[in-house]
Amino acid sequence: MKMKSITCSNWLKLSVFMTLLLATSAGNFYQDAVTTFGDQRVKIAEGGRLLSLSLDKSSGSGFQSKNEYLFGRFDMQLKLVPGNSAGTVTTFYLSSVGQGHDEIDFEFLGNASGQPYTLHTNVYSQGKGDKEQQFKLWFDPTTFFHTYTMVWNSQRIIFLVDNIPIRVYNNHEAIGVPFPKNQPMRVYCSFWNADDWATQGGQVKTDWANAPFTVYYRNFNVKGDVCVPGSPCGSGSKSTDSLNTQEWETQGLDGKGRNRIRWVQQKHMIYNYCADRKRYPQGLPVECKRPRF
């Protein structure tokens, strides 16, 4: 079936709708987050609705959620550094702790002026990652806030941008592929310098004449199961889904979602580990032979 073209105005309307939707149920950074590094480079404003992270030559900055979660839907709106952001990395991800940790990543790799950001996604389970997919966004992520979402349940992980699915990572434990489903995770966000690898493989370095750099986060929203201290996570969890719909527990892609993800991956994906035969000369990972969506 041939997809209809999606105009810029339609994308903008959808972005505005998602902004309004999240604004009605967003969390409060004063209540929900703690600084992990960077001290005064982490600033909260607008009564707890907005948080900024800054990066200078001395240090970056970051924060994490106070709560741990075992499954849920995690939304965050970001506005990235305009102009020359080469060498910088902005993150929004879930992670457990320890050597065999689980992790679900959004990483935004900066670039030189006039060139688009690279959106890097990855999934770790039991300390093993190497499940990368990368995209060039179809909009400028520096002029307006856009919504980035991770849906995590026991069957799959869905990455969305402005509620448009860009990636699905399915549970393939049945064929021996580990999947993150037993370790509770916190939300982490950070902003730091990685000019040894982040931009064009480290060929373009950070221009510190433009520092300090600042990124903005707002409308942090979680619908999921909070792990209660002192109780086994899962049996002793409480839901943050005020409507108790818990759609995220079984969320997948319908026909419309599959059409949208095909469009994104055909037009905007720039790297897929499942297509990198030079990296895997002995054969692609076993999960790459299964249906993607």
> 200 in a domain, yes or no?
yes
Q: Choose the catalytic residue: 68, 103, 249, 287.
A: 103
> 195 in a domain, yes or no?
yes
Q: Which domain holds residue 40?
A: 33-228+247-289
**Total number of domains constituting the chain:** 1
- In CATH, what number is assigned to the domain containing residue 68? 2.60.120.200
> 93 in a domain, yes or no?
yes
> 264 in a domain, yes or no?
yes
Q: Show Cβ contacts of residue 27 under 8 Å, excluding neighbours closer than 6 positions.
A: 220, 221, 222
In the sheet where 61-65 sits, what is the strand order? 33-37, 61-65, 186-193, 88-95, 103-109, 118-124, 133-136, 269-272
Q: One digit per residue, pLDDT tens: the chain, 293 residues?
A: 333 444 444 544 444 444 334 333 468 999 999 999 999 999 999 999 999 999 999 999 999 999 999 999 999 999 999 999 999 999 999 999 988 999 999 999 998 877 889 999 999 999 999 999 999 999 999 999 999 999 999 999 999 999 999 999 999 999 999 999 999 999 999 999 998 888 888 888 999 999 999 999 999 999 999 998 777 776 545 566 555 567 899 998 999 999 999 999 999 999 999 999 999 999 999 999 877 76
Q: Check if 103 is active-site.
A: yes
